[in-house]
Amino acid sequence: MSYVGPDFEPPRPPRHPLRGPLTVAVVALAPGALVGWLVWQAVGDSDEDGAAAQTSVSAGASARASASAGASDDGKERPGGGTGQSGGGEETGSSPAATSAPAGSGPLKGKVVVVDPGHNPGNFQHPSDINRKVNIGTNWKECDTTGTATNDGYTEAKFTLDVSRRLRTILEKEGATVKFTQDGDRAWGPCVDERAEIGNKAGADAVVSIHADGSAAGNRGFHVILPGSVHSGSADTRPIVAPSRSLGERVAGGFLRATGSAPSNYIGDGTGLDVRKDLGGLNLSTVPKVFIECGNMRDSKDVTQLTSGAWRQKAAQGISEGIVSFLRG
């Protein structure tokens, strides 16, 4: 997700380090990275097997069929093709909260996971819709942004939907019921407030919003965004701060192990974690929720990973491991 737009502001000066028991310890030196790796393994995050097939398994026939095709596509795309967030106005297409067909058994049987693919490929064609203001609990912000893209035009929206579909396949194999906020099945949207509402209405056990950053070249790595404690207006994140942090730490640990990608060198003080109080998608959530920025689409080294289908499969696997670990307790 680009830090240009309503929910995505320019990086602020480094925050105080997050020193939780499951902090991802990575510094520039190789020994530090090794220590971080060992710390995550020592805390016992899930090492569930989640080898994922790219075959769609739910009832959304046409959307799922295209998902399977996109899952192995490493090609580039013009800045209009991808997926993402958009408005809460009139919808075009099927429901944004398409439900998967849950597997008959598995460790996540009975659990509901909402996956939120950031942005929407059609957002750029609907500027008046995505620029309209919505209430994020503490104040008003634009509905959404178009997201970012690589210099070659591979969009964040396409990336997020591909990773999300891969993640859905893995989670369904673990027995979870998976719902999407959008599945490339609407012209734009939903807005950030509607995205939060989808997770709330689903009674989700966990919600993960998938993104990629649009920071400066040289800024590398992933980070997981956690909700800060907000109690203002219609926003009250106090009940979800602790479980969301646990979810975020586990997702960060799983992502690090599966992808080998280091935590961000420009946000989170090397922890891979960042707490924010200005994101409507978090402020309005009443269930555990985190965002993950999988890498920087403006850095050539990160782009090599983000545009690789094999790497995106690892990203989905790592995120799923964190979710499984969190839900199994």
- Cα Rg, the chain, nearest whole Å: 18
- Spell out the residues 6+ positions from residue 38 whose beta carbon is closer than 8 angstroms to its own: none
Residue 293 annotated among the catalytic residues of the structure: yes
Helix axes of 61-71 and 156-173: crossing angle, nearest 10 degrees: 110
Rounding to the nearest 10 degrees, give the CA dihedral for residues 118, 124, 127, 133. Answer: 10
Strand partners, 231: 236
55, 169 contact by CB (below 8 A): yes
32, 39 contact by CB (below 8 A): no
β strands within 214-268, DSSP E: 223-227, 231-232, 235-236
Q: Which of 142, 197, 293, 321 is catalytic?
A: 293
Mapping DSSP onto H, E and C, the string for 95-125 reads CCCCECCCCCCCCCCCCEEEEEECCCCCHHH
What the block records as the tokens of 108 is: 């996540």
Alpha-carbon distances, residue 154 vs 120, 208, 212, 279 (angstroms): 13, 22, 11, 25
Active site residues: 293
